[in-house]
Structure 1
């Protein structure tokens, strides 16, 4: 993949790069996996009689059991581990129920922009500023998901031993970070 470049045109700012077929396949697969998790979460909402009567869309009121989904859809307020607070759990449940559908919709839309703009066989990618913003959000979600799966934290080295089964995946994580950083740099005025 080439570094993102910025082009000013009569139609506005365009951000451009080229991606080969393997890179496109990897990115499309990762984005598709994240979107699948989000769709499953959205489809797991229990029926709510009040929501049916009022027409309000309600989400789950409990945090996801899956660590990756929990990272993508964190609690609104974190409790102090030394002070259990049932009120915070109730507040998180209420806020999650109200806002999770919209958050999931935004994450799905960002991922969909990536899928729509990455040619399946690789090639040129040309984005508007709005599409580039969606890319940044979608790439962030993919990085969060992959980082959670690989258990990446502040103590994870930049390079793992070749016999570590996470090593090739960490390279993909770094590649996604580079794509995101390159796009941010190109977007800067």
Structure 2
């Protein structure tokens, strides 16, 4: 991947880069996998009579048990985040209610951003020329892919920059760092 460059002005502004064949294939694979994971979560949401009557979607009330989905769809509030509130104030019931109302919209936004990446990704690699709106969607999708991959790898502050070549996650960590750089460069181009 080359750096992202801003070209044009006004409504003709494009955020441009170029991807090699393997980079485009890797991105397409990761985005597709993430969409499948989110679609599975969405499809297992409980049905609700009120939702059917009003057309307002509802989601799960409990957080995902899978670490990757848990990172993509975290609780809205954890008692350890606020020292003023004690653990009894923010219960699973409140998080469950918030999750039920908001999770369908969050999944929809993540799916939409991922679809923009798939729609604008050049088949077989090549030139990318994104509108600012598309670039913002790319930024969201890249962040989600990084979060998912980081959760699968257990990335933390203690994770080294590189793993030994024979480590089973060495290549995955390199991809994680590549996504980090791609995201950072895209943020700079959008600014």
TM-score clears 0.5: yes
Number of residue pairs the alignment of both structures matches: 188
Check conservation: 2:78, 2:90, Cα contact below 8 A: no
Offset, 1:164? 1.3
Most deviating of 40-49 and 81-90? 81-90
1:98-143 deviation digits (Å, cap 9, x = unpaired): 0001000000000001101111211111100000100000000000
Query: Which position in structure 1 is the counterpart of 2:92?
Result: 89
Check conservation: 1:77, 1:88, Cα contact below 8 A: no
Query: Which position in structure 1 is the counterpart of 2:178?
Result: 175
Query: Which position in structure 2 is the counterpart of 1:75?
Result: 75
Offset, 1:85? 3.0
Check conservation: 2:113, 2:138, Cα contact below 8 A: yes
Normalised by the length of structure 1, the TM-score is: 0.94
RMSD value, Cα? 1.7
CA distance, structure 2, for counterparts of residue 109 and residue 176 of structure 1: 19
Normalised by the length of structure 2, the TM-score is: 0.93
Check conservation: 1:6, 1:16, Cα contact below 8 A: yes
Structure 2: which 5+ runs fail to align? none
Check conservation: 1:111, 1:138, Cα contact below 8 A: yes
Provide the secondary structure at the position in 2 that maps to 1:125. strand
Query: Which position in structure 2 is the counterpart of 1:99?
Result: 102
Provide the secondary structure at the position in 1 that maps to 2:79. coil
Query: Which position in structure 2 is the counterpart of 1:24?
Result: 24
